[in-house]
Amino acid sequence: MDLDALPQYTREEVCQSNQSNWLIVNDLVYDLTDFLRIHPGGSEVLLEYMGLDATSVFEDVGHSSMARTIMLRYVIGRVVTASNLVNLSTSQFCRRDSSVTATEALLSFPHPFKEFEWSKLSSNVIIHPVNCARLHICVP
């Protein structure tokens, strides 16, 4: 499988997809719509992680090499990082359609909420939390 040829999705796109049976394992996006009814562990366990990164749960279960091979049938894309992540330490803001996880935003501070030069934020900057534990910082 040529990973470079796969469509690219951000974690937010997977989370907010109208395709409710998408999930992420090891930075690959899977559409498990057709797999739900035949999953040996039942569909409930998969449905719990739809739209999310299920890598740790998948690895903790200890799936066989056969299971990993079967999964390849359901790969529809790969996860990429948004190209224009906000750099809070230098006050360069993202485009309206870019996003950064709340964790990435907080880790980019030298010391959260203390050393950041809040005065550099103009009054028209919108900061708000949204679905999927994402933090959008957009300049209108």
pLDDT score of 75: 94
CA-wise closest residue to 49 among 126, 136, 134, 132? 132
Q: Which secondary structure element, helix H or strand E, spans residue 43, and what is its range? A: helix 43-47
User: What is the DSSP pairing of strand 28-31 with strand 75-79?
Assistant: antiparallel
Q: What is the pLDDT of residues 16-69, one digit of tens each?
A: 876 678 999 999 999 999 998 889 888 888 888 888 898 998 888 888 889 889
131 or 75, greater pLDDT: 75
Question: Per-residue confidence at 103, pLDDT binned at 50, 70, 90?
Answer: low
Tell me the pLDDT band of 92, cut-offs 50, 70 and 90: very low
Q: Are 137 and 108 in contact (CB under 8 A)?
A: no
Please say whether the dihedral angle defined by the alpha carbons of residues 115, 120, 122 and 126, taken in this order, is positive or negative.
negative
Q: Enter the tokens of residue 103.
A: 């964790």
Domains of the chain, residue spans: 3-79, 83-140
Average pLDDT, the chain: 70
100 membership: H or E segment, kind and range = strand 100-101
Nearest of 77, 95, 88 to residue 120 by alpha carbon: 88
pLDDT greater at residue 36 or residue 109: 36
Domain 3-79 in CATH: superfamily?
Answer: Cytochrome b5-like heme/steroid binding domain (3.10.120.10)
Flag whether pLDDT at 131 surpasses 90. Answer: no
